[in-house]
C-alpha cells in the first residue's frame, strides 16, 4: 500500500464495537480492520468500473462490426 498517514474519523459506537470485535478475532489493529475494509471497497469500485468499461467497448465493437459489415457487402461481391 505504500506510505501511511493518520486519519481521524468519527463513527457510530456500533461500528467501533464491530471494529474492535473484528480486530480481536483476527488479532489485528483497528487501523488494519478499517484499512482492509476500505481496500475491499476500492477493489469493488475498480471491478465495477472495469465491467462498465468492457460493456462500453463491447457496444462500440458491435457498432463497428455492423458498419464494417455494411461496407463489406457494398465492396465485395456476394459469396455463393
Under 8 Å between Cβ of 26 and 11? no
At 79 the pLDDT is: 56
Average pLDDT, the chain: 89
pLDDT at 17: 97
Q: Map grid coordinates 464495537 to a residue.
A: 17
Alpha carbon distance 6, 4 (integer Å) = 7
Domain that holds residue 40: 14-75
Does 24 map to a domain? yes
pLDDT of 36 reads 96
pLDDT at 7: 92
Q: Are 23 and 33 in contact (CB under 8 A)?
A: yes
Alpha-carbon distance of 38 to 75, in angstroms, equals: 55
Query: For the chain, how many structural domains are there in total?
Result: 1
Amino acid at each position: 500500500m505504500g506510505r501511511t498517514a493518520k486519519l481521524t474519523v468519527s463513527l457510530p459506537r456500533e461500528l467501533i464495537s464491530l471494529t474492535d470485535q473484528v480486530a480481536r478475532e483476527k488479532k489485528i489493529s483497528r487501523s488494519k480492520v478499517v484499512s482492509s475494509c476500505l481496500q475491499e471497497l476500492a477493489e469493488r469500485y475498480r471491478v465495477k468500473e472495469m465491467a462498465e468499461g468492457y460493456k462500453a467497448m463491447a457496444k462500440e465493437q458491435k457498432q463497428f462490426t455492423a458498419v464494417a459489415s455494411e461496407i463489406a457487402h457494398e465492396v465485395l461481391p456476394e459469396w455463393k
